[in-house]
């Protein structure tokens, strides 16, 4: 069996998981050249939260970052994380916007697209996979891994087979919470390799301390690629460190041969960057946290919960809120917890504890129940669905959600022109997702934290965590400050008296 290879994630998931996605392009370029010489099978450098962070906090054009990284690291394929119909936002976008984004990204030099949907609803991946293939780029279909009564090895393999039929060039297993045990890693990889004639890549986090062990088991089962980072942007809520994985594979017949001197050179540079970003790092993200095995909350959301609950005067309710997460997840159809569903479930869990279970349902949770984000893996609890239908006067979506969205690219292009912004596709697709930040970037407005950013939901839905209905009467309003992925969201929660 040929050696396993590594993708390296330090320039995307490494600093997203451990330093709030704050590494700048200038901090990346010196190490990108080193990483390019090591011979990784891919460098994850773009997508996920990096687009938002470039615009919102760093005053950078993310497409310029991609071009700069391609120039610094021209040999190794570069990878981005794409949220299917959500692109790199929380909202769903029309097909023409998704297509324009992918074409612009491919033209700027993107090589590999990791395409996932938070609900594993492949209907939300159709457009992205088709367009990536049309651009002659590599479509990597992602399986979001989670555990529940409706998630089994067989169900994940069925999903992998479907992704192959849709035209994916490879299959990625995305263990966003770092909860995959070695036995499951071995069995899932082996089953996929037997059923799917495509390369299989495993991506995990070391949050619960299982990441490296899961990789070892997957390598024994025949996985083609695993994804590692470089310390100090490694381990904890990020991916296992590359040098660590090489040491664990010492004497293994599938151990790859990567230059440890170059890895040390990269680490020296990154240690200084980590020091520069110290205000965004936290020991809580660096340690092993076995609570993740029970609650499955990705990344640093548990620590964020502590902060926002304290601000709501609910510091003593932390354990209650965390215990409520599985309750909400089950009621909404055993949805995986990955952006944006992890934030939605977390918000609803806090509201259940604060106001009473299901006394108030936030707008995004309503949209999950109604199928606006896609088809949940399991059934939505009948009582919750009935409640949402009564409150909203709407029935569940049964078609592909994006089919309900009118084309929007040209409308966004007109808005750009009206604001004196460039009307090229790069600017327009970024404006569609981050209008205020793009306008500020092009007008040279200093970077600052947004004062009152809206709560993300699906496109076309009201962007506020409130319940509304023509047949309802608001009896009270409560302002809440939510911290989601390090960003502040001020929301108004309304308590309703439901009409007959």
C-alpha pair distances (Å), 83 with each of 55, 125, 167, 248: 18, 8, 17, 32
The rounded distance, in Å, linking the Cα atoms of 38 and 429 is 34
- Span 34-58, mean pLDDT? 96
Which one is predicted more confidently, 468 or 432?
Answer: 432
Pairing of strands 138-144, 170-174: parallel
Evaluate if residue 251 carries a pLDDT over 70.
Answer: yes
Q: How many CA atoms lie within 13 A of 326 on its CB side?
A: 13
Task: Express each pLDDT in 208-226 by its tens digit.
Answer: 999 999 999 999 999 999 9
Pairing of strands 225-228, 42-47: unpaired
pLDDT recorded at residue 306: 64
The rounded distance, in Å, linking the Cα atoms of 174 and 165 is 19
Give, as one character, the DSSP assignment of residue 57. Answer: I
Evaluate if residue 207 carries a pLDDT over 80.
Answer: yes
Q: What share of the chain in percent tops pLDDT 90? A: 77
Give, as one character, the DSSP assignment of residue 40. Answer: -
How many CB atoms within 10 Å of residue 400? 18
As given in the structure block, the two tokens for residue 12 are 């995307």
Strand intervals (E) in 313-384 = none
The rounded distance, in Å, linking the Cα atoms of 302 and 299 is 8
Domains of the chain: 5-283 (3.20.20.70), 292-402+460-498 (1.10.472.90)
As given in the structure block, the two tokens for residue 365 are 């949770």
How buried is 351 (Cβ within 10 angstroms: 0-12 exposed, 13-18 middle, 19+ buried)?
buried
Q: Which of 364, 446, 409 is nearest to 91 (CA)?
A: 364
- Span 386-411, mean pLDDT? 96
Task: Express each pLDDT in 260-313 by its tens digit.
Answer: 999 999 999 999 999 999 999 988 889 888 888 887 876 556 555 666 777 788
Task: Express each pLDDT in 426-456 by its tens digit.
Answer: 999 999 999 999 999 999 887 765 443 333 3
C-alpha pair distances (Å), 281 with each of 156, 299, 302, 328, 443: 34, 12, 15, 29, 30
As given in the structure block, the two tokens for residue 413 are 């292009």
């Amino acid at each position: 069996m040929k050696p396993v290879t590594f993708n390296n994630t330090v320039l995307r998931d490494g600093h997203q998981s451990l330093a709030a996605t704050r590494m700048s392009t200038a901090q990346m370029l010196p190490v990108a050249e080193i990483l390019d010489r090591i011979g990784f099978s891919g460098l994850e450098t773009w997508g996920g939260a990096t687009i938002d962070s470039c615009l919102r906090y760093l005053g950078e054009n993310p497409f310029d970052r991609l071009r700069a990284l391609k120039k610094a690291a021209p040999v190794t394929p570069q990878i981005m994380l794409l949220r299917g119909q959500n692109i790199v936002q929380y909202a769903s976008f029309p097909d023409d916007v998704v297509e324009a984004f992918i074409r612009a990204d491919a033209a700027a030099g993107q090589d590999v697209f990791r395409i996932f949907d938070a609900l594993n609803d492949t209907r939300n991946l159709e457009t992205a996979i088709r367009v990536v293939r049309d651009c002659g780029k590599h479509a990597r279909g992602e399986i979001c891994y989670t555990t529940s009564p409706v998630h089994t090895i067989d169900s994940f393999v069925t999903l992998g087979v479907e992704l192959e039929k849709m035209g994916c060039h490879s299959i990625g297993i995305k263990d966003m919470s770092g909860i995959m045990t070695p036995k499951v890693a071995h069995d899932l990889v082996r089953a996929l390799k037997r059923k799917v004639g495509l390369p299989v890549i495993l991506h995990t986090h070391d949050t619960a301390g299982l990441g490296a062990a899961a990789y070892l088991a997957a390598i024994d089962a025949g996985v083609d690629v695993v994804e590692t980072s470089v310390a100090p942007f490694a381990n904890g809520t990020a991916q296992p460190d590359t040098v660590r994985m090489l040491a664990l594979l010492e004497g293994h017949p599938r151990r790859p041969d990567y230059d440890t001197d170059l890895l040390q050179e990269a680490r020296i540079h990154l240690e200084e960057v980590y020091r520069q970003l110290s205000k965004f790092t936290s020991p809580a993200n660096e340690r092993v946290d076995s609570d993740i095995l029970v609650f499955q909350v990705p990344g640093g959301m548990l620590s964020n919960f502590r902060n926002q609950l304290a601000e709501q005067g609910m510091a003593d309710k932390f354990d209650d809120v965390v215990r409520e997460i599985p309750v909400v997840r089950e009621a909404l159809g055993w949805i995986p917890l990955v952006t944006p569903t992890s934030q939605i479930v977390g918000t609803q869990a806090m509201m259940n504890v604060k106001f009473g279970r299901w006394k108030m349902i936030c707008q995004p949770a309503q949209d999950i129940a109604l199928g606006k984000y896609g088809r949940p893996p399991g059934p939505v609890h009948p009582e919750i669905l009935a409640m949402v239908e009564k409150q909203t006067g709407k029935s569940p979506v049964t078609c592909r959600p994006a089919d309900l969205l009118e084309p929007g690219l040209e409308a966004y292009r007109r808005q750009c022109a009206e604001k004196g912004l460039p009307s090229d596709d790069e600017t327009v697709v970024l404006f569609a997702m981050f209008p205020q930040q793009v306008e500020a970037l092009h007008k040279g407005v200093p970077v600052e934290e947004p004062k009152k950013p809206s709560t993300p939901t699906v496109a076309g839905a009201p962007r506020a965590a409130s319940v509304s209905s023509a047949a309802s009467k608001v009896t009270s309003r409560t302002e809440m400050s939510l911290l989601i992925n390090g960003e502040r969201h001020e929301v108004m929660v309304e308590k309703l008296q439901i009409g007959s």
